[in-house]
Amino acid sequence: MNSNSSADLVMFPGQGSQRAGMATHLLERYPAARRVFDEADAVLGMPLSDICTTGTAEELAATDITQPAILATSLATWQVLREAGCTPGAVAGHSLGEYAALVAAEVLTPESALRLVQVRGRLMAEVGRKQPGAMAAVLGLSAEQVVRICEQARGTGLVEVANFNEPTQTVLSGEAAAVEAAGRAALLEGAEKVVALKVGAPFHCSLMSAIEEEFAGELAGHSFADPVLPVISSVTGDHVRSGEQARELLRRQLSGPVRWVDVVRRAGGLPTETYIEVGPGRVLNGLVRRTDPDARVASTGDEKRLGALVGTLSAAAPVPV
């Protein structure tokens, strides 16, 4: 890691990284994190600070709660690192995490990101109630094989690739029967295993297109500035060039796949020294390592890891004169 983190990719996790008590260490130790949660509680009119410290896993599992909770935790962690002197070379976010990345790049204000994610979580939860669907991770096949399996399973219903997470981990999403059929076909083709995911809705597939128009209207009510540092979008795996493009990509993100392999490969073409996961969990660390075995990774999801990184950043910060 460079002394000022200037060559690092800061990356923010998405849904599935939540855990009970995930913000306890932030709120107990860091005033910067408390300020972020105080704003989030006020903006959203819900006690996120309580949910993220004393809430149960069951409470956090609801999509309309999970999404703002993860975002607030990620933003609080980012503010702690920012005040310690973290200046990344680029930022990226896995699906939901892209909102935190856009805040870090000053495309969105924290308030706009929180309000948008609150609506996003509500709309996606509504799709889940109307069209339960299913998701499953396929391990041990190439992305090309899984795409072909989805095409062959169309006769059983809608099933599409939702996440290109790593070279041999690809996530399916769609109607339950079709996802199950595609999973069986993957096993017959030689997949190591197919893991059903516990999710509140069939994310990142065409079933989510029903909410795109309503969410586009919500996006239109917020200002999007041009990024002040490079943002790699998980929708395209490429750089976000403008605020208007960022707005459109957030709409497309609802029903389009997450191209995380492309994000990591794009970052690998930059002078990226360390991939720093900012927020709860270490899911992205694992995905990066399995995409680029030589990559250096760091996480911030617990007191020990965050404290170590803050200490490194603070020690490297210039002394005021």
Catalytic annotation present for 222: no
In this structure, are 106 and 215 located in the same domain?
yes
Beta bridge partners of 169: 139, 166
Catalytic residue among 5, 95, 173, 299: 95
Looking at the predicted structure, is the pLDDT value of residue 6 above 80? no
Domain total of the chain = 2
Residues recorded for the chain: 321
In this structure, are 173 and 71 located in the same domain?
no
In this structure, are 17 and 112 located in the same domain?
yes
> Look-up: residue for tokens 């890691």?
1
Please state the rounded mean pLDDT for residues 219-236: 98
- Output the domain CATH number for residue 172: 3.30.70.250
Looking at the predicted structure, is the pLDDT value of residue 314 above 90? no
Looking at the predicted structure, is the pLDDT value of residue 2 above 70? no
Looking at the predicted structure, is the pLDDT value of residue 102 above 60? yes
In this structure, are 117 and 161 located in the same domain?
no
pLDDT at 317: 60
Looking at the predicted structure, is the pLDDT value of residue 100 above 80? yes
Domain assignment of residue 151, yes or no: yes
In this structure, are 24 and 125 located in the same domain?
yes
Domain assignment of residue 4, yes or no: no
pLDDT at 4: 43
In this structure, are 195 and 220 located in the same domain?
no
Domain assignment of residue 269, yes or no: yes
Catalytic residue among 17, 112, 204, 255: 204
In this structure, are 122 and 147 located in the same domain?
no
In a 3-state reduction of DSSP, which class is residue 307? helix
Cα–Cα distance, 41 to 12 (Å, whole number) = 21
In this structure, are 233 and 191 located in the same domain?
no
Which one of 177, 200, 223 terminates a domain?
A: 200
- Output the domain CATH number for residue 216: 3.40.366.10
pLDDT at 319: 40
pLDDT at 3: 41
Looking at the predicted structure, is the pLDDT value of residue 5 above 80? no
Instruction: Record the pTM.
Output: 0.95
Looking at the predicted structure, is the pLDDT value of residue 200 above 90? no
CB contact at 8 A, 6 and 86: no
In this structure, are 281 and 248 located in the same domain?
yes
Average pLDDT, the chain: 94
| Closest alpha carbon to 11 in 292, 245, 218 | 292
Catalytic annotation present for 95: yes
Domain assignment of residue 35, yes or no: yes
Please state the rounded mean pLDDT for residues 78-90: 95
pLDDT at 109: 98
Alpha helices in the chain (DSSP H): 24-29, 31-44, 48-54, 57-61, 63-84, 97-104, 110-130, 143-152, 176-189, 212-220, 243-253, 260-268, 283-291, 303-316
Q: Name the residue range of residue 213's domain.
A: 9-129+207-316
- pLDDT tens figures, 127-182: 999 988 999 999 999 999 999 999 999 899 999 999 999 999 999 999 999 999 99
In this structure, are 107 and 152 located in the same domain?
no
Dihedral (CA of 238, 242, 247, 248) sign: negative
Which one of 147, 178, 200 terminates a domain?
A: 200
Please state the rounded mean pLDDT for residues 91-101: 98
Domain assignment of residue 1, yes or no: no
Domain assignment of residue 3, yes or no: no
In this structure, are 95 and 60 located in the same domain?
yes
pLDDT at 179: 97
- pLDDT tens figures, 147-161: 999 999 989 999 999
| Helix (H) or strand (E) segment spanning residue 137 | strand 134-139
In this structure, are 83 and 142 located in the same domain?
no
Which one of 167, 200, 233 terminates a domain?
A: 200
Domain assignment of residue 213, yes or no: yes
- pLDDT tens figures, 37-76: 999 999 999 999 999 999 999 999 999 999 999 999 999 9
Burial 61-75 (b: 16+ CB within 10 A, else e): eebbbbbbbbbbbbb
Please state the rounded mean pLDDT for residues 249-266: 97
Amino acid present at 127: V
Domain assignment of residue 141, yes or no: yes
Confidence of residue 318 (pLDDT cuts 50, 70, 90): low
Structure tokens at 188: 């017959």
Centre a 10 Å sphere on the Cβ of residue 223 and count the other Cβ atoms it contains.
Answer: 10
Confidence of residue 321 (pLDDT cuts 50, 70, 90): very low
